[in-house]
Structure formats: structure tokens, C-alpha cells
Amino acid sequence: MAQAGNAPAPAPLSFSQAWLQLQQGSDQLAASERAVEGARLRREGMQGLGGPTVALTGMAYRYKAQVDIDLDPARHSLDGVIGLLPPALGGGLGGAPQLPSNYNLQRSDNRASASVSLLWPLYVGGAADAVRSGLQARTDEALADARSDALALHSLLVERYFGAQLARRAAQLRQHALALVREHDAAAQQMLEAGVASQLDRLQARAALADAEQQARQALDQAQLAATALARTVKATAPLQASSPLFVLSQPLQPLQRFQDAAQQHHPGLAKVQAKRSQAGALHDAQEALRKPQLLGFGLREVNTQGKPSWVAGVAARWTLWDSVDRDQLAAASQRSVEQAQLAEQQARSDIALLVEKHWLAVEQARRQYLAQQAQQDLAQALLKLRQAGLREGTSTTLELIEAEVNLARIGTERAQTANQYVQALAALLQACGLSEDFARYQAQADILIPTDTTITAP
């Protein structure tokens, strides 16, 4: 990057350090971890589903009852009974007693009660196991999503880290070419003043210099933008400079089948599809459980310090003989979900195998292209030497020498671009296999490195 005045030099940052820093500061990975923790806690919270439930119930209350009792019917009935008695007996009673027409009954009291109850599902058709299986499958799905996020984030870091290296390499090559063009521009001016070069040669050199300055400035701007993207990706608080160079392995990768087999074992997309299939199976089992009889054990005992407490215990059975909900249709629907998940898994396996082959071929194509470009670079270097000698001998022009130097910088940039294509394709291949952690191993085994200088100055 351009360094002004006494500004501190950017701190070097290797790819492994950048990956560690990104893992520690990524909100996306933190969110994935929270999702996994939540799913795991739900599964653990329901681990005892289907076991006994013991509850303690206590009540304290005050009541007041007030009832008006109408005594007129009783009084009339009593008068009728006394009238039927013999006169001597009825008179001896002194007539019917004088009852009030109504009577108001009031009662109030304070009461308290407590009881312990037990409910134990002895058999519910496997519903509890189905719920636990479903929650476990959701945990597996959350783990697969978290793994997928980590692999995608690793590939993003590869893209921005080595993209910054590529942009920096291109800027350095353009600056080197610009420095040479400036020298030739100054030499062309001296040759014009000495009368050994034409005005047309001078104008051509000046135009080549303007184009080289524009190319160098554009390359520098791209390098600064790539470095900013990298710093924001790893949430760096200070300027940094990627220190791990672009690389290429001159030897071919392992056979395609090895990577396809690894993808069938480790790709998080397959793990997610399998988790979806398990969830569909758990839902189907739960639907089937509703069609089976249920057996419950229960008990209730009063907590009473005075007298003998009351208690009850027993077994209850329930079997739904007919329901307004069509259980057959629901069971068929859940079975279709299971079949859908199975077909989705088969399709995913096929798609992943094709994706792995695509990236494997991309890696090999980039490797072969990089090695083939060596001949172009050798030719460009030989042509540059020829133009330098021709300029000294008067058989070449300054413009031809400038074009040879710019061409060499262009080929160097193209080779760096090919190396970046190799790195990006390798990262994509490992992501498709679920083996992004192996990227560091391939990086350490690389026998072709594309180094970059430590500084870039403004043109």
C-alpha cells in the first residue's frame, strides 16, 4: 500500500492467522454456535419426556355462604297434617307451630388443603421417542448449518486474502514497468535533444509513459481496495499486509474419486438432508403413535396433618376408536415426506459429486495453464533482452523496448491471476468435500510460490 510520511508499516498477517482472527470475530459463526447450543439444550431438556411427573398442589381459601330458605311450603304442609289429626289430639298440640315464612342461613370459614399427585405415561405408542428423535435431528441440522457456514466463510477468506495478494502483485509489476518506462522516456528526450531520435519517437514514448502511469494507478487503487476488503473481513483495527504468497502445486492432485468419496462422507449439505430425513421419520412415528392405545398411571394423596389423609391410585387406559381427523391421510402425508427426503438425499449426492468434479477439473486446468505460461514468460524475457540489445545497436526503437517491458509485466500479471485461480479452485474443491481444514496442508506442500514485495509506492 502507499505509505505516507512516518505512517506505521502494516502488520504482516499470514493466512492461518487471518483464519484464526476471523473465527474469533465472526458474528456469523457466533450466531451458528448459538443455534447449535439452543438445539442441543432443547434436546437435553426433553430427554426425560415420557417419565413420571410429580406435582404438589396447595390451596388456602376463605368462603362465605348465604342462602334464603322459603318455609311457607313446610308451614302449609304442617297445617294440613295437624288438620287430619283427631280434634282431641290436634287441640292438645295447641295448633300448628308458628314458623317464619323464610329463614336466612349463613356460614363462613377458612380452609386449607394440599395434595401430592403423580402422573406416569406407561405407554403412549412411542410418541416420546419420536419427539426425542425429532429434536436430535434438529440438532444435527443445526450442526450441519454451522459447518456449512464455517466452510463458506473459509472460502470467502481465501477469496479476499489471496485476491489482495493478486492485486498487490499486479500493482508491483505495473510499478516496475512504470519505472522502466520513465527511464526510457527520459532517454528518448535526451536522444531527441541529441538529434538521434525523431519527434515521432518522442511522442510515442510520452504516450507510452502516460498509459503506464494510468495502468499503475489503476492497479494501485485495486490493491488498496482489496486490502481494505480483507481488513474488514477479519475485522482488523489496524492496517495489515497479507504475508502468505499465492501458490501452485506442480504435481497433480489425488484422483477425483478420492475427493468424491470424501464429499459423500463430510459434505454438510448431505448431513443436513439426512437430518431432514430423520425429522420426517420422527414426524411419521409421532403420527403412528396417535393411532395406538395409551396407558397412564396416576396417584393422588392429600397432605393432611390431622386425621387420616385421603388418597387414590390407579391406571387409566385410552384408545381413540374414531376421530374427526383422518389419521390414515396424515400417516400417508408423513410417509410422503420421508420419501421426499430420501429422494432429496439421492439428488444431493449426485449434485455434490458433479460439483466436486467441476472444481477438481478447475484446479487441474489452472495448474496446467500456469505451467504452460512459463513458455510465454521465457519468450517475453528473451524478447526484452533482444530489444535492449537492439536499442544499444540501433536496430530497435525505444517504443519497441517499452512494449517488450510492458508485455513482460502483463504476462507476469496473468500468471499471478492463474495462480489465484488455482488457489480459489482448490478452496472451492475442499469446501465441496467438507475438508476446508486441509487447505493449510496443501499450502505447506506447494513448490511454486509467487512472492510479493513488502512495499508499494504511489506512481
- What is the tens place of the pLDDT at every residue in 431-440? 999 999 999 9
What is the predicted pLDDT for the residue at 48?
Answer: 86
Eight-state DSSP code of residue 195: T
Task: Evaluate whether residue 281 is within a structural domain.
Answer: yes
> Among 67, 68, 69, 65, which residue's Cα sits nearest to residue 108?
65
What is the predicted pLDDT for the residue at 188?
Answer: 75
Task: Evaluate whether residue 110 is within a structural domain.
Answer: no
Q: Any residues with CB less than 8 A from the CB of 331 and at least 6 apart, and which?
A: 284, 287, 288, 291
Question: How many independent structural domains does the chain possess?
Answer: 1
pLDDT in tens, 39-58: 999 988 888 888 889 988 88
Task: Evaluate whether residue 192 is within a structural domain.
Answer: yes
> Among 185, 241, 187, 191, which residue's Cα sits nearest to residue 213?
185
Q: Report percent pLDDT > 90 for the chain.
A: 39
Task: Evaluate whether residue 177 is within a structural domain.
Answer: yes
Kindly report which listed range (173-177, 323-327, 378-382, 415-419) carries the lowest average pLDDT score: 323-327
CA–CA dist 245, 367 (Å, integer): 16
What is the predicted pLDDT for the residue at 211?
Answer: 87
Highest mean pLDDT (candidates 118-127, 163-172, 341-350, 362-371) = 362-371
Does the pLDDT of residue 429 top 90, yes or no? Answer: yes
Does the pLDDT of residue 75 top 90, yes or no? Answer: no
Cβ distance 276 to 341 under 8 Å? yes
| Between 108 and 168, residue with greater pLDDT | 168
Task: Evaluate whether residue 420 is within a structural domain.
Answer: yes
CA–CA dist 274, 349 (Å, integer): 11
> What pTM value is reported for the model?
0.79
What is the predicted pLDDT for the residue at 195?
Answer: 73
CA–CA dist 328, 333 (Å, integer): 9
Q: Report percent pLDDT > 70 for the chain.
A: 88
CATH of the domain at 377: 1.20.1600.10
Q: Which grid cell is 104?
A: 336466612
> Among 134, 124, 131, which residue's Cα sits nearest to residue 295?
124
Q: Which grid cell is 95?
A: 295448633
What is the predicted pLDDT for the residue at 159?
Answer: 95
pLDDT class of 3 with cuts at 50, 70, 90: very low
Does the pLDDT of residue 81 top 80, yes or no? Answer: no
Residue type, 242: A
Kindly report which listed range (9-13, 74-78, 183-187) carries the lowest average pLDDT score: 74-78
- Region 221-241: mean pLDDT is 87
CA–CA dist 352, 263 (Å, integer): 7
Task: Evaluate whether residue 230 is within a structural domain.
Answer: yes
Kindly report which listed range (130-134, 192-196, 339-343, 429-433) carries the lowest average pLDDT score: 192-196
What is the predicted pLDDT for the residue at 349?
Answer: 92
What is the predicted pLDDT for the residue at 267?
Answer: 92
| Between 349 and 334, residue with greater pLDDT | 349
CA distances from 6 to 1, 2, 9, 228, 252 (A): 14, 12, 9, 20, 46
- Region 184-198: mean pLDDT is 75
| Between 125 and 366, residue with greater pLDDT | 366
Task: Evaluate whether residue 143 is within a structural domain.
Answer: yes
Cβ distance 270 to 352 under 8 Å? yes
Task: Evaluate whether residue 149 is within a structural domain.
Answer: yes
Does the pLDDT of residue 100 top 90, yes or no? Answer: no
The mean predicted confidence, pLDDT, of the chain is 85
Domain carrying residue 25: 15-49+125-292+335-450
